[in-house]
Amino acid sequence: MFRLLKEIYLTGFTLLFRLSRSKKIGYKVGGACAVLTLVEWFNLLNISSWIDILSGKQVLPPFSEPEVLLAFFALGFLNIYVLFVRGHGIAFEREFDKLGKSRRILLMVSCVVLLLATIAFSIYSTSAYHRFFHIK
């Protein structure tokens, strides 16, 4: 299961890397990592919202804007480190075409489904959080 999640993560990087129109590899990596970081960030916020809803109170203390930005950029730099500096994303991107056709399709479909699920989960979580805590 962990291997499949890792491959879906690397497939997301590969798809975003290949969709970039830039000729410079740094810009391609930066753009792909930025989008992946946003998806991960929304998932973390959704999980945090549901922890608050299920516990009936705010579990995590409110963070200031600089603390939130620092956490977001730390997550982004972690993605850049794993995918580019350590080379896992670039190596997977080069080997992606050598995977079997059914495996590639499975990974691409899984990646798109995960993105759509993140969007739907974000909308539902925000609505539920506002309803539960009576926020207008």
User: Per the structure block, which two tokens stand in for 20?
Assistant: 């970039």
What pLDDT does residue 98 have?
95
Asked if residue 111 lies in contact with residue 4, where contact means CB atoms within 8 angstroms, the answer is no
- For the chain, the average pLDDT equals 91
User: Per the structure block, which two tokens stand in for 97?
Assistant: 């075409």
Q: Residue 136 domain-assigned?
A: no
* Number of domains observed in the structure of the chain: 1
Span 82-107, pLDDT tens digits: 999 999 999 999 999 999 999 999 99
Q: Which domain holds residue 37?
A: 2-131
Q: pLDDT-derived band of residue 41, with 50, 70 and 90 as boundaries?
A: very high
Q: Residue 100 domain-assigned?
A: yes
